[in-house]
């Protein structure tokens, strides 16, 4: 039955699979030539090594594409036996107005001036590596994903990816200048006939104008992320470039103190269990072939990772938290297998985390890269046992593995097909296995068709090929900001579909969706940059009886000004047939029934080019038989490039008159950052959640004398604010830890 139903789609994918990819380019490639001599790496670009290199001019992308850059901007590029060098000439007629508000690694604030280099090293026309810096030589690197196309609330970036590279800057009366030195082993390009071919783009952002300049010329028709449109990058070639396989050893040592509070055996009081933490481990990066990189890890630790954001959940579904652990960041886009906002077939936070607790990772490895025309990704990690405070086993040892392969197809350069398999093997013959296939087909221009299918099974599954174990999606869309855009989709998840290595908001549903938008790019003299009118809808049906479960209708209007202020108005209508009630608090529960929730939402954020910025989100409307008033306030203040204050406040009040109850919650996030230099910084992240009556502190001092060498001092605390409302009285702190971690990278090549 399964193969009969899916035979046409299966045959289509097999036919596409057998086709060879064909590259299409609109212009001759940019030749990146070898430097005649090694530059003096000091940020001074006016030296003999750069004098003979050709300069390439940047042109405006945002807000008015195709116009000359307001401030003269150009770059030069070349390579040596070990490094790719990139020189950014950011001339400025008013150098006193150059803005640099941050010295924190990987912080991208739009009240900073920036310049950067983007490289699509594997020529997939969809993903790229970005290396950026500011006037104070702040290093920012991230992966550009999905051809720069934002999906819902997800930005098309993986900002947690880090690489080994260096940058120096200078500021003079002519402007500011940046010199990048990127090891060739970091790029992992593919060599064919002793030639490396990749997509290339350069950019500059001038904060006081809110202007983006790019090379090559890129239209602004895709909105704010037009500069990140990987498929519009210039083809570039490096001939006779050496292939250098990386070899890094990164051992770490960790020490510290931890106190965890738990009830005593009599249940009469809380006691603190104090332990000294001592551990060591190592990560190894090794280029096993020209285009394949192996990452090995032993006794993996993520003590330095920033704490997750506290969130208020007003839905009946689980919350989603992004991955922040560095080991999973290397070419994370290869492992992407997404069903959009509804779920992911692979979610790396399933490894090493269980119900908010860290599970020890004994070791494992991951391999990424390209073999011929195939993008490859493989990962296998062994996790240890997890015990509760009394020593009882909560989770046994498990192996987690995933294999991902993708390849371009001949339809055009922006189309690919891919396959993924993932598994979890536990004790006592307990296992899970999943298999999936997906494709993105660029049918014509900005029109794309996305196909995805996945099948799951576990040790209790009777028929692994049943439709009940399957998840599929079909979505046709026109990706464009200017003019008309649209999307229409179909999704289905069977009752038995359970991606234990993935993430799902709903289960056992069928969904129909649509969106229609019309965007306008304003003329040069208008204070408005762009406007977008749209309406989206989603309709969810229960599979068991085909009854309508949820309807979401959201019309919206979005406006962006030339100085990057943003306004969005989006009234909402949501019909929800709740068959199983859910709880908001200990006293308030939503009863089963049919609910019509309608309200007004709005979002405003002030210009991001200023050192002070503020934003506001509001919602007023009905909510499951009650009336909801809520708002969120965001404020950011930068004091030169030394101090930064971030304050976020979330207020929710829902009046359930029929229950004679009021739901009230407050969530506060405050972050104070001190930036002594780009090598030494300190931050304190304090969060208060009224629902848990808790204050959560994550404070970190980081000393980064060189890339790959890090010293962290970390303080974590979970404080109780309403101790005496409980019997027995709660402890001051549920968990308190002070940790010191040092990592030293030995780069062999």
Residue by residue, DSSP assigns 697-715 as: EEEEEEEEEETTEEEEEEE
**pLDDT band of 56, cuts 50, 70, 90:** very high
Query: 227 and 346 in one domain?
Result: no
d(CA 576, CA 199): 46
Considering only CA atoms, give the Rg of the chain: 27
Written as six digits, the tokens of 389 are: 């405070």
CB 332 within 8 A of CB 322: no
Query: 101 and 215 in one domain?
Result: yes
Residue 636 lies in a domain: no
Q: Considering the entire predicted model, what is its pTM? A: 0.82
Of 209, 178, 213, 202, residue with least CA distance to 93: 209
Please give the angle made by the CA atoms of 264, 267 and 273, to the nearest 5 degrees. Answer: 20
Chain segment 280-332, per-residue pLDDT in tens: 999 898 888 767 888 898 988 777 777 778 888 888 888 787 777 777 776 67
Bridge partners of 716? Answer: 698, 737
* Cα torsion through 314, 320, 322, 327, rounded to 10: 150
For range 508-537, the mean pLDDT: 93
| 725 phi, psi to nearest 5 deg | -85, -5
Q: Is the peptide bond before 304 cis (omega within 30 degrees of 0)?
A: no
Residue 102 lies in a domain: yes
CB 518 within 8 A of CB 532: yes
Chain segment 432-469, per-residue pLDDT in tens: 999 999 999 989 888 999 999 999 999 888 888 888 99
Q: Which domain holds residue 379?
A: 323-521
* Range in 330-334, 563-567, 691-695 with the lowest mean pLDDT: 330-334
Q: Which of 204, 222, 239 is the endpoint of a domain?
A: 239
Q: Mean pLDDT of all residues in the chain? A: 88
Residue 390: predicted pLDDT: 64
d(CA 711, CA 303): 11
How many folded domains does the chain comprise? Answer: 2
For range 333-355, the mean pLDDT: 85
Of 489, 503, 516, 509, residue with least CA distance to 550: 509
Query: Beta-carbon neighbour count of residue 436 at 10 Å?
Result: 24
- Please name the residues in contact with 397: beta carbons below 8 A apart, sequence gap of 6 or more: 362, 382, 383, 384, 385, 426, 427
Query: 337 and 208 in one domain?
Result: no
CB 736 within 8 A of CB 717: yes
Residue 582 lies in a domain: no
Residue 24: predicted pLDDT: 40
Tell whether the torsion through CA atoms of 145, 149, 154 and 159 is positive or negative: positive
Residue 86 lies in a domain: yes
Residue 277 lies in a domain: no
Residue 455: predicted pLDDT: 95
For range 204-229, the mean pLDDT: 92
Residue 731 lies in a domain: no
- Please name the residues in contact with 265: beta carbons below 8 A apart, sequence gap of 6 or more: none
Q: Which of 239, 256, 287 is the endpoint of a domain?
A: 239
Residue 152: predicted pLDDT: 54
Beta strands in 207-314 (DSSP E): 211-215, 234-239, 247-263, 270-289, 292-300
d(CA 627, CA 292): 56
Whether residue 261 has pLDDT greater than 80: yes
> Which helix (H) or strand (E) is 2 found in, with range?
helix 2-18
Quick one: residue 139, left, alpha or beta (phi over 0 = left, psi -120 to 50 = alpha)? beta
Query: 232 and 360 in one domain?
Result: no
Residue 389: predicted pLDDT: 63
Query: 465 and 356 in one domain?
Result: yes
- Please name the residues in contact with 380: beta carbons below 8 A apart, sequence gap of 6 or more: 364, 365, 366, 399, 400, 401, 402
Query: 511 and 389 in one domain?
Result: yes
Residue 172 lies in a domain: yes
């Amino acid at each position: 039955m399964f193969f009969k139903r899916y035979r046409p789609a299966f045959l289509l994918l097999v036919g596409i699979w057998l086709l060879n990819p064909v590259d299409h380019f609109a212009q001759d490639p940019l030749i990146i030539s070898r430097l005649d001599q090694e530059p003096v790496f000091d940020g001074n670009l006016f030296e003999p090594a750069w004098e003979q290199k050709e300069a390439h001019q940047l042109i405006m992308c945002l807000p008015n594409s195709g116009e000359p850059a307001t401030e003269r901007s150009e770059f030069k590029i070349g390579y040596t036996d070990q490094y790719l060098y990139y020189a950014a000439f950011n001339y400025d007629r008013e150098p006193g107005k150059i803005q640099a508000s941050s010295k924190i690694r990987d912080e991208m604030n739009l009240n900073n001036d920036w310049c950067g280099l983007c490289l699509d090293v594997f020529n997939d026309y969809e993903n790229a590596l970005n290396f950026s810096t500011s006037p104070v030589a702040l290093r920012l690197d991230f992966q550009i994903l999905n051809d720069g196309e934002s999906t819902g609330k997800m930005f098309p970036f993986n900002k947690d990816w880090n690489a080994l590279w260096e940058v120096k800057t200078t500021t003079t009366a002519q402007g500011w200048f940046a010199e990048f030195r990127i090891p060739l082993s970091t790029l992992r390009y593919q060599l064919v006939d002793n030639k490396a071919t990749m997509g290339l783009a350069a950019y500059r952002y001038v904060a006081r104008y809110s202007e983006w300049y790019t090379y090559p010329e890129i239209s602004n028709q895709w909105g704010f992320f037009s500069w990140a449109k990987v498929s519009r990058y210039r083809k570039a070639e490096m001939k006779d470039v050496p292939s250098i396989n990386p070899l890094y050893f990164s051992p770490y040592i960790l020490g510290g103190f931890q106190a965890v509070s738990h009830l005593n055996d009599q249940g009469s009081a809380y006691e603190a269990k104090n332990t000294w933490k001592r551990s060591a481990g190592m990560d190894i990066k090794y280029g096993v072939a020209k285009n394949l990189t192996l990452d090995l890890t032993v006794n993996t630790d993520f003590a330095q990772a920033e704490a997750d954001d506290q969130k208020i959940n007003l839905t009946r579904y689980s919350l989603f938290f992004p991955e922040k652990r560095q080991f999973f960041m290397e070419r994370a886009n290869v492992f992407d297998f997404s069903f959009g906002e509804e779920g992911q077939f692979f979610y790396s936070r399933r490894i090493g985390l269980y119900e908010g607790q860290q599970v020890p990772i004994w070791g494992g490895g991951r391999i990424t890269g390209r073999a011929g025309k195939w993008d490859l990704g493989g990962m296998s990690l062994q996790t240890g046992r997890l015990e509760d405070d009394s020593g009882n086993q909560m989770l046994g040892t498990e192996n987690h593995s995933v294999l991902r392969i993708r390849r371009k197809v001949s339809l055009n350069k922006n189309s690919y097909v891919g396959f993924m398999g993932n598994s979890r093997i536990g004790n006592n013959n307990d296992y899970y296995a999943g298999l999936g296939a997906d494709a993105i087909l660029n049918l014509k221009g900005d029109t794309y068709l996305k196909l995805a299918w996945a099948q799951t099974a576990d040790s209790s599954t009777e028929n692994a090929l049943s439709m009940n174990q399957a998840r599929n999606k079909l979505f046709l869309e026109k990706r464009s900001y200017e003019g008309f855009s649209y999307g229409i989709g179909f999704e289905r998840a069977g009752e038995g579909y359970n991606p234990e290595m993935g993430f799902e908001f709903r289960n056992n549903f069928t969904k129909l969706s649509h969106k229609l938008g019309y965007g306008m790019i304003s003329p040069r003299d208008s204070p408005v940059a762009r406007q977008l009118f749209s309406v989206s809808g989603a309709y969810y049906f229960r599979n068991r009886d085909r009854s309508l479960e949820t309807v979401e209708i959201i019309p919206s209007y979005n406006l962006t000004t030339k100085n990057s202020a943003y306004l969005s108005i989006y009234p909402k209508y949501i019909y929800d047939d709740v068959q199983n009630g859910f709880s908001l608090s200990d006293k308030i529960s939503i009863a089963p029934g049919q609910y019509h929730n309608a309200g007004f939402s709005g979002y405003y954020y002030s210009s991001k080019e200023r050192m002070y910025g503020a934003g506001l989100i509001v919602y007023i409307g009905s909510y499951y038989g009650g009336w909801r008033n809520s708002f969120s306030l965001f404020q950011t203040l930068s004091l030169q490039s030394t101090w930064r204050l971030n304050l976020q406040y979330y207020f929710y009040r829902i009046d359930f008159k029929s229950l004679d109850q009021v739901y009230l919650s407050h969530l506060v996030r405050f972050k104070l950052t001190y930036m002594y230099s780009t090598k030494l910084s300190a931050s304190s992240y304090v969060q208060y959640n009224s629902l848990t009556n808790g204050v959560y502190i994550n404070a970190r001092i980081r000393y980064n004398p060189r890339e790959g060498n890090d010293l962290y001092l970390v303080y974590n605390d979970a404080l109780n604010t309403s101790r005496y409302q409980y019997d027995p009285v709660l402890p001051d702190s549920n968990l308190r830890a002070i940790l010191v971690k040092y990592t030293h990278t030995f780069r062999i090549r």
